[in-house]
Structure 1
């Protein structure tokens, strides 16, 4: 009975987050100018878009024989993008994301969920399908899908660092990963490699708390993971600063290298900065508008 009551209380607490999160995401999405939404992408529309060289995996029916007859190379006739593409989202719900160095700052998880949901709203308004990586919530259109995303992101993971989900990647879709990316790099590398193998391109947005960049700690300090699985006490925290900043810089370099190798774009956002500017960057990056 107690277990059932505890589960109900937790469920009600999680559900209470949804209306504010949805309202904030709607407001944030409304501040970003949609414009033309960059819809000049190849797809199944009726209007001619471009010729491109044939690639491995193209069927014979896709070959434009008239254009190919002009030379020794085969070409595919691509049409303007009219049918919506799928965008798969992954928001890190690990315990490390529930960190904020100041009560006036949002947690990294709160900012990641807000940006993920606002991006999903913009994409759905543009006629695209959005969903989660993996098999739990396949990409769909409509406002009901936005509510499903909000519900999925209201649940916290118990592990300190949640690995990116790389199952069921839809070939040639796009993806967005939102995390601090401070956990095991091998998991991120596996996910991006799997995605690249299926022609999936996307955006990594690293979200950090200001203290994680500045390391302002001095003297006696106790460092403890949000999940409580790790704890370190030191009398000279300042002596750790250079080594910490070196490791952080190395992690950023590793992420940049990984994104270059897989054709993804990498961004950095601090939780003290404007969510609007981060959303605008993210939205443009999905359309390949920034580097």
Structure 2
């Protein structure tokens, strides 16, 4: 199995790694355009975080609840009928969200059933989320590349950083030492490590009081295992090869292991009030974007005509 988050066994020499990083950087400008196109399809009707809190922007009137401070009552609005109303202001305190897209070799995989490589989808989702969060006034950071900053052009800043020479030296595993309490961390990858290793890595971040969101990008063949006959499999991270004389005889066992890994990660996220979302590369990226943005803002949303799949 390919590996994604955790301790890695180095295989690539430096030249291979640099070539892969430069290829990734060359894709970033086009992926930023795609990310903004996706955002434009889901942004209609969304207004910032739309969350009650401290701020100066009016959000809504709502019925008064016993126990709330009387200072929040809007007496002019309440005088119009027999109900007592409170004036809610929109939350305007900037929040820190760390974003990361898995750069490991396994993310380069694309089958005939997938519309794009896993890496391209991961970067598009990361940039699209940066665009949405930046428009909401949140602080966006990227481990080892960008310190959290509030900027209306956050997606563009992140794209430039990902295409820079500095990005070539980033490790395949994110360094999350700077993550602080109450921050959100969004990790986009394939998470094909043994789940025990992934969970151990995530728990080193959880003890800091951060909330984690896993967004798994999967190629269709990784779920359905359509292989038959004599087939050779190669691990892109370690170079290990395995030949199956009758690959179809391995299908059920493989799918059972694959599903068990995913369910173990999903259950761990659910217990800690984290989120786990799956996006297949033959599905719309906007589906995962809507689901994840909803978990980050605390208000799950849906795009008309598009189902939200795989969110824990």
Do they superpose with TM above 0.5? yes
Name 1:58's counterpart in structure 2: none
Question: In structure 2, the residue corresponding to 1:167 is in which secondary structure?
Answer: coil
Match of 1:38 among 49, 74, 79: 49
Aligned 8 A contact 1:174 1:202 in 2: yes
Name 1:55's counterpart in structure 2: none
Match of 2:223 among 213, 216, 225: 213
Aligned 8 A contact 1:221 1:237 in 2: yes
Match of 1:199 among 188, 209, 229: 209
Q: Distance in 2 between matches of 1:204 and 1:190?
A: 14
Paired positions, count: 257
TM-superposed CA distance for 1:261, in Å, is 2.8
Q: Distance in 2 between matches of 1:231 and 1:282?
A: 36
Q: Distance in 2 between matches of 1:171 and 1:41?
A: 21
After superposing the two structures, state which structure 1 stretch, 150-159 or 237-246, moved more: 150-159
Name 1:136's counterpart in structure 2: 145
Aligned 8 A contact 1:95 1:158 in 2: no
Match of 1:183 among 193, 202, 207: 193
TM-score, scaled to structure 1: 0.76
Change (3 A) 1:284 1:235: same
Find out whether 1:258 has 2:260 as its counterpart.
no
TM-superposed CA distance for 1:151, in Å, is 4.2
Name 1:59's counterpart in structure 2: none
Change (3 A) 1:131 1:41: farther
Name 2:95's counterpart in structure 1: 85
Find out whether 1:225 has 2:235 as its counterpart.
yes
Q: Distance in 2 between matches of 1:272 and 1:39?
A: 31
Change (3 A) 1:101 1:228: farther
Change (3 A) 1:212 1:29: same
Name 2:158's counterpart in structure 1: 149
RMSD: 3.3
Match of 2:129 among 119, 123, 145: 119
Q: Distance in 2 between matches of 1:123 and 1:180?
A: 23
Q: Distance in 2 between matches of 1:222 and 1:9?
A: 25
TM-superposed CA distance for 1:46, in Å, is 6.5
Match of 1:270 among 277, 280, 286: 280
Aligned 8 A contact 1:220 1:237 in 2: yes
TM-superposed CA distance for 1:90, in Å, is 1.6
1:121-144 per-position Cα deviation (integer Å, ceiling 9, x unaligned): 111011111111x34321112256
Name 1:17's counterpart in structure 2: 27
Change (3 A) 1:215 1:131: same
Find out whether 1:282 has 2:309 as its counterpart.
no
Q: Distance in 2 between matches of 1:11 and 1:186?
A: 28
Find out whether 1:98 has 2:128 as its counterpart.
no
TM-superposed CA distance for 1:267, in Å, is 1.1
Change (3 A) 1:6 1:247: closer
Question: In structure 2, the residue corresponding to 1:204 is in which secondary structure?
Answer: strand
Aligned 8 A contact 2:113 2:282 in 1: no
TM-superposed CA distance for 1:148, in Å, is 4.0
Change (3 A) 1:112 1:12: closer
TM-score, scaled to structure 2: 0.71
Change (3 A) 1:96 1:21: same
TM-superposed CA distance for 1:29, in Å, is 1.2
TM-superposed CA distance for 1:118, in Å, is 0.4
Q: Distance in 2 between matches of 1:22 and 1:265?
A: 25
Aligned 8 A contact 2:130 2:154 in 1: no
Aligned 8 A contact 2:18 2:168 in 1: no
TM-superposed CA distance for 1:163, in Å, is 3.5
